[in-house]
Structure 1
């Protein structure tokens, strides 16, 4: 007689030998990810800190440039009488940018050097308000009282431009505090001993300051 036997085999799941390795690699990956995130965050912080002052400096430079362009220096020009006594500005002798300074027409290195006693008329173009310029017979811009003339004029409009050149001799009758006829230039000092003729020797310019930005 044959006996049939039923055999049941129970197989248990055996942990793979690589589980420990996988766990170790997983932990290393998490640590590396944390380090990378920390470095990225620090980089962003440094970038923000570094870009802050640069942005501020750029903005300041743009504002400064805008302020200067809104208040340009302007020009002052010097002429001789028109030929034949005709109209117009006359013959241009030289021009100066309207920047603060003392400009001798005899001694200083400027566009008008050598033109002393050759100028009879003055014209301004686009000079800022509250600026002054002084015309001297003296070739060193001294304030001595025995020179033929000293005329200080102040612009009262921004910008100030004279339509035509102004004969220096026409300034004689304008009292201090009054505008030269047909201009926005106010007489601040009027010292006249005799006809100025073509005796301009020196000019002193005081350009007004650019207003502070608000």
Structure 2
């Protein structure tokens, strides 16, 4: 009810804007259709078949168990301990860079979804000054040099963030090259104010070019 109180940001088909609310609604759809909890369906359909043993979906437990990074806001305050209940299917999962890499290789090379679903996932729309956007995934052309004959490389990208943590994953369409980074700084308060929630850095672009370019 709260989500639909404001006017639409744009006319249908004329733009896109990320919204956690949409992913929470997707979780409710999963439960309405399957009559099982969203975490149990995600485990049955994705985590178990792919052997992602280091990925979990906590509902209310505020602690991260086992070896883990501590997460911080931009002031240096430790925000590792918090309840994941507010994020649910919008991003409450805990994982590792290895599991993320495994998941994305399976996702983008067609090993996880049926062909019709795969086509839907990778069918993108393009808007000015924005990457091509599909069903929760983005396709972007990564510049691989300044020479006129240097061709950019096309990669699929996903990212996410929550209090103290953020990650980004880039995978070439053939799954041969990947870059998965996890960082332990994310300031949710800044994000809610429309300000950058992570430190400004050119390191990501350098890592992308070093890993993914020929």
Greater Rg, structure 1 or structure 2? 1
| TM > 0.5 fold call | no
| Structure having the larger proportion of residues in helix | 2
Q: TM-score range by the shorter chain?
A: under 0.3
| Structure having the larger proportion of residues in strand | 1
The two structures have a TM-score, normalised by structure 1, of: 0.23
